[in-house]
Each structure stands twice: as structure tokens, then as C-alpha cells.
């Protein structure tokens, strides 16, 4: 099976261990085991007791009942039976695509987004149409364009809310319209919700799994919970789809690691404290980025409303790849080129990590902008 090179991941693999200032990171600053225990109200002694008695066999095949109940609690209408655990959100997305998509199927994906949502179905032989998100629309989908794209045989529509890389956030009214469009042709609607809840305001972020009878939500511990090292994700979807997913999952997962599940359960139990911490980080850090954009020549953006990334336009004669490669080599600052997301003229900035790294990275970028055409 041929598949297009994963632009973002190849870029990250090349540079994230070589840069001095990683401003491409998309997770909220990771938490330590010590911090997680404190937020979960578990002592190190209790954790040690819990872990020392565990036999490291296969875990629960579908995910333990307790952890699936906690995941279901992130939604309004889902139960444990609607949830299956996966190896990160990347594993969840892969399972959905390989379960649903057949050669010749019509699949629609927004772009820019996480590349899985168009390159994987394309590799399966699907007919892919992409809906370009435009800055003049706040990087929100043009629903008239979407209505014109859907066909009687459209199998799957893929969206991402909040959007990576732009930080655009679709509200409930827009999501319901998209659900209606999908319903009009009986299509599945996959929403990658890995950043769901990381908002700049206090508004609730609904899930398509709760809004549409064929809505699918994928999520993980990585972004919202700052625990990317667990490699723990999930699918929330109708029970009949979960049953179909399990047939495919048997071939590539079997179960999630027991230690991953233990710490994920602690994090889900402490979700309010973790979300409070992480919202404080993204809101403070976005202000730093916003001040920089407003005061730096040749730089502009649509200010993000959610998530951890911003898609920043750079007025330069360099391609985005040339700009980012020179920036990391000459200043040690790592952004992600827009070309890695099939969108030229932009760079993706991750603003949710260490505040001092963000400040220094932006300062050095200002210097760099004075040195390049």
C-alpha cells in the first residue's frame, strides 16, 4: 500500500531533538507523574502499592469498564458501551478510516487538518475531496461549499474541532448544520476532537458524537490532559460501529498497556483540575503570542479560539519550508512549515508549552525576520 509521506511528523522527527527552542510542540506543557498524583489525590505510596501488585499481562481488551465510564463522562449522551480505547488519537483515527473506507468511496476532509484524515483514505483507494479552510472565513468551513460537495454515495466527512493548525472553533450551531448535511446523504461524520475543551472562553464545546446518530468522536490523553507519553486514546461512536472497529482492532492493538490505563484513569478522575491548569496555560501563552503578532512587522494571523496552535502568515519571499529550516538552523527556533500541512505561506506555532521557551523563540524570530527577504 502506497501512502503519502506524513509531512508534519517527518518534520518533527527531523528537528525536534535538534532545536534549542521548540515552538512547534502541540501539547499543553506535559505534567510529571508527581504532578498527576497530586491532582488525583493519590500518594506515591498508594501508587507504588497499586502498581507493585499488578501482573503485567494483557489489559482489558476493549478498555476497562471503569476507564470507559470515565471517558463516557466527557460526553453528554455516551455510555461505556459507546467507547473503545486505542493507542492514542492517531490509533483511533486510523481504526475509523480502515473500518469504514473502501476503494472508490467518496470521502470529504477539511484542509488544513491532521493529515491522517485525507492521506489514509486516499491510500485505501477512496475518492478524496478537500474543503479548504480560508483565513477570510476565520478558518471555518464554508457550509455552502460542503453542501455542494456531498453526494448520495458520500461515505465519510472528516472535520477537526478545535482545528489543528488554525485554532478555529466551530460552535454548536455550525456543528449541527454539518450534522444535517451529513444526515442528508446518510454519511458518517468523524470529528477529531483531540483538543476539545482547550478553549479561550468558558463556553462548552459539544461533541458530534452527542449531536448526530452517525457521529464519531476521537480523543486522547495527549493534548487536553498533557500526557502524550501514555499513548492512550479512544473512540466514542454508535455501538454498531464500535463492534465493527473491534474486528479491525484485533489485528493491531489487542489491548492498551495496563500502566497506561492506570495513569489515564487517574487523569480522567482529576479532569477538572487538569483542565483548569491547562486552560490557564493556553490563555496566558496566547496573550504572549498575540502581543508578538500585533507588534511584529510581516506577521499576521486569525487569532485562535481554542486548541494549542496558531497558523501564522509570514510575509516573506521564502517558502514556508525554507523559512522554518533557516530559522531552526540559524536561530535554534522550531516552527512547523505550512507546506507540511499542504498550505503554503503560513507557519504553525505551538504556544501551549513552556512560557519562557515561547518568549525566547518569538524574540529570536523577530531578529530573523529582519535578516531575511
Cell of 221: 490523553
Look up the pTM and report it.
0.97
Inter-residue contact 84 to 249 (CB < 8 Å): yes
Residue 102 is predicted with a pLDDT of: 97
State the Cα–Cα distance between residues 30 and 21, nearest whole angstrom: 16
pLDDT of residue 155: 98
CA gap 280, 301 in Å, rounded: 22
Please tell me the predicted confidence (pLDDT) of residue 204: 87
C-alpha cell at 126: 477512496
| Omega before residue 112 within 30° of 0, cis | yes
- Predicted confidence at residue 59, as pLDDT, reads 86
DSSP class of residue 215 equals E
> Cell numbers at residue 262, please?
492506570
pLDDT at 52: 96
Q: What is the set of domains in the chain, with CATH numbers?
A: 7-32+273-369 (3.90.1150.10), 55-270 (3.40.640.10)
Q: pLDDT tens digits, the chain, 373 residues: what are they?
A: 899 999 999 999 999 999 999 999 999 999 999 999 999 999 999 999 999 999 999 989 999 999 999 999 999 999 999 999 999 999 999 999 999 999 999 999 999 999 999 999 999 999 999 999 999 999 999 999 999 999 999 999 999 999 999 999 999 999 999 999 999 999 999 999 999 999 999 988 999 999 999 999 999 999 999 999 999 999 999 999 999 999 999 999 999 999 999 999 999 999 999 999 999 999 999 999 999 999 999 999 999 999 999 999 999 999 999 999 999 999 999 999 999 999 999 999 999 999 999 999 999 999 999 999 9
C-alpha cell at position 231? 499513548
pLDDT for the residue 277? 98
Q: What is the pLDDT of residue 1?
A: 84
Cell of 237: 461512536
In which order are the strands placed within the sheet that holds 346-350?
299-301, 309-314, 346-350, 336-337
Q: Is 220 helix (H, G, I), strand (E, B) or coil?
A: strand
b (16+ CB within 10 A) / e for 353-370: bbeebbbbbbebbbebbe
According to the model, what pLDDT value does residue 203 have? Answer: 83
The count of C-alpha atoms lying within 13 angstroms of the C-alpha of 137, restricted to the half-sphere facing its C-beta, is 12
- C-alpha to C-alpha distance for 63 and 83, rounded to whole angstroms: 8
Amino acid at each position: 500500500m502506497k501512502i503519502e509521506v506524513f509531512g508534519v511528523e517527518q518534520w518533527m522527527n527531523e528537528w525536534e531533538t535538534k532545536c534549542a527552542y521548540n515552538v512547534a510542540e502541540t501539547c499543553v506543557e506535559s505534567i510529571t507523574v508527581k504532578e498527576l498524583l497530586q491532582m488525583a489525590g493519590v500518594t506515591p505510596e498508594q501508587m507504588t502499592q497499586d502498581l507493585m501488585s499488578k501482573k503485567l499481562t494483557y489489559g482489558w481488551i476493549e478498555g476497562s469498564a471503569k476507564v470507559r465510564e470515565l471517558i463516557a463522562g466527557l460526553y453528554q449522551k455516551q455510555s461505556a458501551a459507546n467507547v473503545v480505547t486505542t493507542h492514542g488519537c492517531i490509533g483511533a483515527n486510523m481504526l475509523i478510516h480502515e473500518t469504514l473506507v473502501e476503494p472508490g468511496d467518496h470521502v470529504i476532509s477539511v484542509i488544513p487538518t491532521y493529515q491522517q484524515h485525507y492521506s489514509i483514505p486516499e491510500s485505501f483507494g477512496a475518492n478524496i475531496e478537500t474543503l479548504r479552510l480560508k483565513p477570510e472565513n476565520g478558518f471555518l468551513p464554508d457550509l455552502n461549499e460542503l453542501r455542494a460537495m456531498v453526494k448520495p454515495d458520500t461515505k465519510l466527512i472528516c472535520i477537526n474541532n478545535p482545528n489543528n493548525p488554525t485554532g478555529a472553533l466551530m460552535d454548536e450551531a455550525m456543528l449541527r448544520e454539518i450534522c444535517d448535511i451529513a444526515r442528508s446523504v446518510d454519511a458518517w461524520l468523524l470529528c477529531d476532537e483531540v483538543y476539545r475543551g482547550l478553549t479561550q472562553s468558558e463556553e462548552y464545546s459539544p461533541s458530534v458524537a452527542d449531536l448526530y446518530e452517525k457521529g464519531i468522536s476521537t480523543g486522547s490523553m495527549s493534548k487536553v490532559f498533557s500526557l502524550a507519553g501514555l499513548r492512550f486514546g479512544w473512540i466514542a461512536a454508535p455501538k454498531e460501529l464500535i463492534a465493527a472497529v473491534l474486528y479491525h482492532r484485533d489485528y493491531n492493538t489487542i489491548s492498551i498497556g495496563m500502566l497506561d490505563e492506570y495513569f489515564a484513569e487517574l487523569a480522567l478522575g482529576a479532569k477538572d483540575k487538569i483542565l483548569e491548569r491547562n486552560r490557564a496555560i493556553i490563555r496566558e501563552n496566547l496573550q504572549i503570542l498575540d502581543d508578538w503578532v500585533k507588534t511584529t512587522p510581516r506577521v499576521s494571523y486569525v487569532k485562535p479560539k481554542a486548541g494549542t496552535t496558531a497558523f501564522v502568515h509570514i510575509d516573506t519571499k521564502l517558502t514556508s519550508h525554507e523559512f522554518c529550516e533557516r530559522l531552526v538552523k540559524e536561530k535554534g527556533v522550531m516552527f512547523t512549515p505550512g507546506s507540511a500541512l499542504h498550505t503554503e505561506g503560513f507557519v504553525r506555532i505551538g504556544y501551549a508549552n513552556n512560557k519562557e521557551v515561547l518568549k525566547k523563540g518569538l524574540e529570536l524570530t523577530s531578529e530573523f525576520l529582519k535578516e531575511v527577504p
